[in-house]
Amino acid sequence: MKRPSRRNQIIIVLFAALLVVVDFVFGPYIQFPVFFVLPVMLAAWYCGAMLAVGLALALGLARFLCHWYWSFPMDFMPAIVNNVLRVIALLMVGYGTAFVSKTIRDLRKRVSVLEQQLPVCKDCGLIQTANGEWVPVESLEVKSEYAHTSCPHCQDKRYGSIN
């Protein structure tokens, strides 16, 4: 994994600190049902952003109706603000998860295509690098599935040296 830049670390920590300040300013009235993120993440991961958005809106509304049913002592405006913040947070989780899911699927496809183009010795599993060198591979999966050629050493062993 690429080493995270110091600048990004500082920005993220400052963002967290800003959230603490915002949380303090709003007082004890901001409420977020943590477990609502799970179905939104699952929807985004397996079904894409559309279902995640729908769930984010539906869950936000459901929570709003719960407050109304509980007759929870909260004024109308803070309740609306809470609901909007809940939906925004769930939408961010949904879009983020959908983005990561799509990126991983695209990368897997790309790796699969590249693996199929990789020259792998069908006998010993050595892989030919771009400069023609044959090197060992750690992944046995690659060896068994994509092997379609032989390195010079194994050609000599199998068919005998021409020289």
Q: Does 151 bind Zn ion (CB under 5 A)?
A: yes
Q: Does 142 bind Zn ion (CB under 5 A)?
A: no
Q: Which stretch binds Zn ion (CB under 5 A): 5-13, 40-48, 67-75, 147-155?
A: 147-155
Q: Which of 123, 128, 137, 142 binds Zn ion (CB under 5 A)?
A: 123
Q: How far is the CB of 144 from Zn ion (least distance, A)?
A: 14
Classify residue 64 as exposed, middle or buried by CB count within 10 Å of its CB (0-12, 13-18, 19+). middle
Q: Which stretch binds Zn ion (CB under 5 A): 36-44, 47-55, 93-101, 154-162?
A: 154-162
Q: How far is the CB of 116 from Zn ion (least distance, A)?
A: 19
Helix (H) or strand (E) holding 163: none
CB 136 within 8 A of CB 161: no
Give the span between the Cα atoms of 124 and 114, in whole angstroms: 20
Residue type, 132: G
CB 93 within 8 A of CB 37: yes
Q: How far is the CB of 57 from Zn ion (least distance, A)?
A: 57
Nearer to Zn ion, 115 or 123 (CB): 123
CA 132 to chain centre: 35
Q: Does 121 bind Zn ion (CB under 5 A)?
A: yes
Give the span between the Cα atoms of 63 and 44, in whole angstroms: 20
Would you report the helix, strand and coil content of the chain in percent, each value rounded to 5? 70, 5, 25
Q: How far is the CB of 124 from Zn ion (least distance, A)?
A: 3
Q: How far is the CB of 130 from Zn ion (least distance, A)?
A: 18
Q: Which of 124, 128, 137, 142 binds Zn ion (CB under 5 A)?
A: 124
CA 48 to chain centre: 12
Nearer to Zn ion, 41 or 126 (CB): 126
Chain residues binding Zn ion by CB under 5 A are 121, 123-124, 126, 151, 154
